[in-house]
Amino acid sequence: METITINKIAINALKNDIKKLSEEQRFLRNQRKTVNLKGERTMEPWVATMKHQANREELRLMFAAYGLMKGKTFSQIENNHSEEEHPLNKFKTNINVLVDHYKTKSEEK
């Protein structure tokens, strides 16, 4: 019973971080534009582009970690590749580090 609660807390913490990063992506999308900018520019377009790229890669790994914590396989998370040749297999160690980070983070609470 306790492991289910810890997993739920870990999944909720990961979901909240995914939401925060997704909101930042929307902000960065506006900052990348050079025309029809809504609001004030707070950073250069090239900086926003680089941050957007880095966040996109991090979000992909976070979504993969979220799927693994829910008990899914890579081909179920991103279903356009077979399980053996899936591109996420290259990032398995990074994804496992994320899963471990959120599990230990939830155990501390």
29's tokens: 């999308």
pTM: 0.83
**Predicted pLDDT at 32:** 84
Residues comprising the chain, all counted:
109
**Predicted pLDDT at 21:** 95
Going by the DSSP 8-state scheme, the letter that residue 70 receives in this structure is T
Question: For the chain, how many structural domains are there in total?
Answer: 1
Q: Is the pLDDT of residue 1 over 70?
A: no
Q: Which of 11-15, 24-28, 53-57 has the highest mean pLDDT?
A: 53-57
The residue whose two tokens read 């983070």 is 105
Domain that holds residue 31: 2-108
5 confidence band (pLDDT: 50, 70, 90):
low
User: Tell me: the pLDDT tens digits for 31-67?
Assistant: 887 776 667 788 888 999 999 999 999 999 999 999 9
Q: Judge residue 31's burial from the number of C-beta atoms within 10 Å of its C-beta, 0-12 exposed, 13-18 middle, 19 or more buried.
A: buried
d(CA 28, CA 23): 9
